[in-house]
Structure 1
Amino acid sequence: MSDTVRITGVHAEGRHGVHEEEKTRPQPFLVDVEAEVEAARAAAGDDLADTVSYADIASDAVAVVRGPSVDLIETLAQRIADRVLARGALRVAVTVHKPEAPVGLPFSDASVTVRRDGPLAASGTIRRAVVALGANLGDARAALDAAVEAVRRLDVCVTAVSRYARTAPVLAPGQPPQPDYLNAVLTLTTAMSPLDLLAALQRIEVRLGRVRRERWGPRAIDLDIVDVEGVASRNPRLTLPHPLAAGRLFVLEPWMEIEPDATLAGSPVASLAAAAAARSGVCA
């Protein structure tokens, strides 16, 4: 479930229109923006950094309206939408009003509304995704087998599954010992949106006994989206690429096994694995 940030009536003057006079004489524009966001973390922590600020949205709207001249208010709306989506909004609706448009007849307002999905919410485009799997409670091998089979039953095409590797758990300072993990990586292609894929993976976790109690705690199954082709996101619900994957040997090594030439955020996975191994004193 998502939340909405809304700001209406943002006023700025700009020089936009198809007529020469419109490109030279400043005209008033009003902008309304409705952004779908994930505000739960911001509300819990009372931290503006965890949501999309309506002040930033207003600044984006004003900057675009005051910016380079364009012919169409559709273009203005699109540029504002792009800026708001870049701030982490899941979806956005932008309305640009041009109350002094040269209509030639009596009217009260002229406006255009565009609605756009951000990369996390957009579906319909087939993308490659990388998913890391891990388990260290009960029969970990059976859990991974069941998870892989459950992923295959989603609206996806699983293209490769690595071998299962036994690895030591990553523990926080003072955290009690845990059993070793079995880890793996699979790749898939899907037209599902990244958020829909995340929701589907979390449902699989629940069915297989995952209980979220503590960070880095033991778990019956763990399914993490590491990377989605062409998607970069700072959204607190799903940050892509995964913010910790570049330093995790238990992700990089199985990924490298099935995609030797893979890259993560522009860096070769093989190089990242070598660097992570050097830091840990392990031979990659």
Structure 2
Amino acid sequence: MTDTIRIEGVRGYGAHGVLAEEKLRAQPFVVDVEMEVEPAAADSIECTVSYADVAADALAVVEGESADLVETLADRIAERVLARGALRAAVTVHKPEAPVGVPFSDVSVTVRRNGPLVDGGTIRRAVLALGSNLGDGRAHLDAAVEALGALDLHLTAVSDYLSTDPLLAPGQEPQPRYTNAVATVTTAMSPLALLAELQRIEVRGGRVRERRWGPRTIDLDIVDVEGVASVNPRLTLPHPRAGERLFVLEPWAQIEPEATLDGVPIASLIEKLRR
């Protein structure tokens, strides 16, 4: 389930076009944007993509660096929209005073772009964190690894299983210790498609989401996806707290000692946390 946000008629002036005179004289451009977004989790602007920000982005592109093609302008705007967390974007740029040479009412170009979370078809490496602290943790992780192997992916490596202390919120009641591991896979699934598959494995494994940081039979998180950065609240990549968690970094380093997280070597992160 997704929502659609539209903003139409954002008007600005820019010096864009193939002809030399178009580089010297600003002319009007009008932009329409349609965004597919996750439903807002709360009644807060922080839980959605602000159409005011998108309008400002569109205007900045129109008034900014010159481009030969209207397609280039539309693509630049779409890139900014997706960077704000939209899943998909359709951007139409109108050039009502284009030098067509015959009577016309409008010239427009529409581009449609997928954001990184829904863009599949490219084989990428992904890093997954596995954890369990209810029942037989090793058996739960074994079952999860077996279920991963049945998905449309290649399971490239699985770390040893580690026993770790639970991460608790202030005042939270004690929990059993965790069994943790990290797996690496390659897949052509989009990150959101992969997330959906992981959540199905959790449900089949008896996962019940009653409260944050509560005990669970199985927990599967996407830590990192090659070449993908996302601020979408449904799936933020790289995982925003992975760099603070030895129970993720240490098993990951076991199978990929030279790996980096958001450009930082995980070996450096581990060293810092162990001090």
Superposition TM-score tier, normalisation by shorter sequence? over 0.9
Question: Residue 124 of structure 1 aligns with which residue?
Answer: 121
Q: Counterpart of 1:102 in structure 2: which amino acid?
A: P
Q: Using the alignment, how far apart are the partners of 1:28 and 1:265 within structure 2?
A: 40
What are the equivalent positions in structure 2 for 1:213-224 lying under 5 Å apart?
213-224=210-221
The offset of 1:24, in angstroms, is 1.8
Unaligned runs of 5+ in 1: 279-284
Q: Using the alignment, how far apart are the partners of 1:189 and 1:79 within structure 2?
A: 30
1:239 matched to 2:247? The reply is no
What are the equivalent positions in structure 2 for 1:26-65 lying under 5 Å apart?
26-41=26-41, 44=42, 46-65=43-62
What are the equivalent positions in structure 2 for 1:185-264 lying under 5 Å apart?
185-264=182-261
Q: Using the alignment, how far apart are the partners of 1:203 and 1:263 within structure 2?
A: 28
The offset of 1:100, in angstroms, is 1.4
TM-score by length of 1: 0.94
The offset of 1:21, in angstroms, is 2.2
Q: Using the alignment, how far apart are the partners of 1:173 and 1:100 within structure 2?
A: 62
Q: Using the alignment, how far apart are the partners of 2:11 and 2:30 within structure 1?
A: 5
What SS does the corresponding residue of 2:183 show, helix, strand or coil? strand
Give the count of matched residue pairs. 275
Q: Using the alignment, how far apart are the partners of 2:258 and 2:23 within structure 1?
A: 50
The offset of 1:140, in angstroms, is 1.5
What SS does the corresponding residue of 1:80 show, helix, strand or coil? helix
Unaligned runs of 5+ in 2: none
1:191-226 alpha-carbon deviations (Å, 9 max, x no partner): 111111111111111111111011110001000000
1:112 matched to 2:109? The reply is yes
Q: Using the alignment, how far apart are the partners of 2:247 and 2:227 within structure 1?
A: 23
The offset of 1:11, in angstroms, is 0.7
1:271 matched to 2:268? The reply is yes
1:2-31 alpha-carbon deviations (Å, 9 max, x no partner): 222210111111111111222222211110
What are the equivalent positions in structure 2 for 1:6-85 lying under 5 Å apart?
6-41=6-41, 44=42, 46-85=43-82
Question: Residue 169 of structure 2 aligns with which residue?
Answer: 172
Question: Residue 282 of structure 1 aligns with which residue?
Answer: none
Q: Using the alignment, how far apart are the partners of 1:231 and 1:257 within structure 2?
A: 23
Q: Using the alignment, how far apart are the partners of 2:227 and 2:25 within structure 1?
A: 40
What SS does the corresponding residue of 1:242 show, helix, strand or coil? coil
Q: Using the alignment, how far apart are the partners of 1:39 and 1:13 within structure 2?
A: 33
The offset of 1:71, in angstroms, is 1.2
Q: Using the alignment, how far apart are the partners of 1:241 and 1:210 within structure 2?
A: 23
Considering only aligned residues, what root-mean-square deviation do their CA atoms show, in Å?
A: 1.1
Q: Using the alignment, how far apart are the partners of 2:274 and 2:61 within structure 1?
A: 46
Q: Counterpart of 1:16 in structure 2: which amino acid?
A: H
Say which is worse superposed, 84-93 or 18-27, in terms of deviation: 18-27
Q: Counterpart of 2:18 in structure 1: which amino acid?
A: V
Q: Counterpart of 1:61 in structure 2: which amino acid?
A: A
1:112-150 alpha-carbon deviations (Å, 9 max, x no partner): 000111111111111110000001111211111111111
The offset of 1:156, in angstroms, is 0.6
Question: Residue 281 of structure 1 aligns with which residue?
Answer: none
The offset of 1:47, in angstroms, is 1.8
Q: Using the alignment, how far apart are the partners of 1:179 and 1:105 within structure 2?
A: 76
